[in-house]
């Protein structure tokens, strides 16, 4: 079963998402997108399949977003994609691709909507938030 995660190991959300995938018993293809960014066509397709716009798929925090003036509303999708491919840190993370769909998994629990197999056991995120109970069921929050 092919699952891909565009991963940044320095990102807690990305690490939690990877751990949730692994909690199904699947070892995904891990793409270190900072070193190996997706092609322009793949990036555009992932953004579209995730139901996002190019602008909403850009990461601002900890990136050269402000210096590059990417908040300029006159910039086209192509210009934004150019910036993302030239500076992969601008690609928001983690994108996950499964046979069920594509998601930008922020928060990490969004990956649960597109995983083809159930969780095998409990899961607690790095910050201590319990997400999956001992029976492999999602814990409902009051949010």
Residue-wise pLDDT for 77-134, tens only, equals: 999 999 999 999 999 999 999 999 999 999 999 999 999 999 999 999 999 999 999 9
Is 105 a residue of the active site? no
pLDDT band at 33; cut points 50, 70, 90: very high
- pLDDT above 70: residue 143: no
Q: What is the pLDDT of residue 142?
A: 64
Q: Is 126 exposed, middle or buried (0-12, 13-18, 19+ CB in 10 A)?
A: exposed
The sign of the CA dihedral 21, 131, 133, 123 is positive
The rounded distance, in Å, linking the Cα atoms of 46 and 133 is 30
**Which token pair is 10?**
């320095």
Which pairing describes strands 95-97 and 29-32: parallel, antiparallel, or unpaired?
Answer: unpaired
**Which token pair is 130?**
């319990």
Residue-wise pLDDT for 40-62, tens only, equals: 999 999 999 999 999 999 999 99
pLDDT band at 69; cut points 50, 70, 90: very high
Residue 108 CA, chain-centre distance (Å), reads 8
Length of the chain: 143
- Catalytic option among 6, 7, 8, 11: 11
């Amino acid at each position: 079963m092919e699952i891909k995660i565009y991963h940044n190991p320095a990102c807690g959300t990305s690490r939690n998402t990877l751990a949730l995938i692994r909690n199904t018993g699947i070892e995904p293809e891990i793409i270190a997108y900072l070193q190996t960014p997706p092609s322009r066509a793949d990036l555009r397709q992932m953004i579209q399949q995730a139901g996002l716009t190019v602008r909403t798929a850009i990461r601002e925090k900890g990136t050269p977003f402000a210096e590059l003036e990417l908040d300029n509303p006159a910039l086209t999708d192509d210009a934004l994609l150019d910036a993302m491919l030239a500076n992969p840190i601008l690609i928001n993370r983690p994108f996950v691709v499964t046979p069920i769909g594509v998601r930008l998994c922020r928060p990490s629990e969004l990956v649960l909507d597109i995983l083809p197999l159930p969780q095998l056991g409990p899961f607690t995120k790095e910050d201590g938030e319990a997400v999956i109970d001992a029976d492999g069921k999602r814990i409902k929050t009051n949010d």
